[in-house]
Amino acid sequence: MSPLPKSDSAGRIGNLVRRWKDDCEGIAAVEFAMIVPIMAIMFIGAVELSQAITVDRRVSQVASSTADLVARWSPPSGSGSTMGIPQSEITDITRVGGIIVSPYDRVPLRIVLRSVMSSPTDATNTKQWWACTFDGLGSSLSCTCTNTSFSLPPNLVTTLDNVVISEATYTYKPLVFDHFMKRLGASGGTPGTYTLAETIFLKPRNGQVNMQQPDNTPCPTPTF
């Protein structure tokens, strides 16, 4: 069998190229295959971002609510008590923080409540009076009387003043992107997690807020 002339071969190849260029079958499937990964990433990202924003707002609410409840504390009417807020009430206040976080897991939640006092002669000389820590991992409250220096933002207090501080942190773990974050290593936390944090400063409503120790004695006033 004799080979085709070069002109016929070139003509056939040209016809095949034109048919391939004009063939529209399967375009929708190809476009769909190209768009689906992008749309999936956008959808998952929107879900992850909305949940992260929600949890971050809950953390802010925890800090604000717990600080406000401590700052509002006053002795029961007619009791004449000057010992300070009982640790049992602080425990209840931190439990409120756990309820605010719900339905998200409260295990990664950590709340630190502090009372800081300034010197009678120097507003920049401030010391921590007492501190209580609620660790969601153990769901326990740990309180201690302290007399240690504690820095406050400028012009927050005057002389012989008192401020209540609530620090709420939450170790947020994404739903889907955690696998990729573990590979990349998220900054500001352990791989696969983000630390959401909020700090609230409030002045007590009814004078200085001391804390009552388990032996029913108040924490000693800081010495300056």
Is residue 7 included in any domain, yes or no?
A: no
Q: How confident is the model at residue 77 (pLDDT cuts 50, 70, 90)?
A: low
Q: How confident is the model at residue 153 (pLDDT cuts 50, 70, 90)?
A: very high
For residue range 92-102, what is the model confidence (pLDDT) as tens digits?
999 999 899 98
Q: What percent of the chain has pLDDT over 90?
A: 49
- pLDDT top residue among 192 and 57: 57
pLDDT in the model for residue 36: 83
For residue range 162-216, what is the model confidence (pLDDT) as tens digits?
999 999 999 988 877 666 555 555 455 455 678 999 999 999 998 899 999 988 8
Q: What is the mean pLDDT of residues 48-57?
A: 90
Residue 107, CA distances (Å) to 91, 120, 148, 198 in order: 16, 40, 29, 17
Q: What is the mean pLDDT of residues 59-69?
A: 96
SS3 content of the chain, % helix, strand, coil (to 5): 40, 25, 40
Query: What is the pTM assigned to this prediction?
Result: 0.77
Is residue 8 included in any domain, yes or no?
A: no
Is residue 26 included in any domain, yes or no?
A: no
Tokens of 128: 């921590």
Mean predicted lDDT score pLDDT of the chain: 84
Whether 21 has a pLDDT exceeding 90, the answer reads: no
Count of domains in the chain? 1
Whether 87 has a pLDDT exceeding 60, the answer reads: yes
For residue range 104-113, what is the model confidence (pLDDT) as tens digits?
888 889 999 9
Tokens of 196: 């959401």
Residue spans of beta strands (DSSP E) within 54-172: 85-86, 109-118, 126-135, 140-149, 162-172
pLDDT in the model for residue 138: 62
Range(s) of the domain holding residue 84: 37-212
pLDDT in the model for residue 181: 52
DSSP state of 218: B
Is residue 88 included in any domain, yes or no?
A: yes
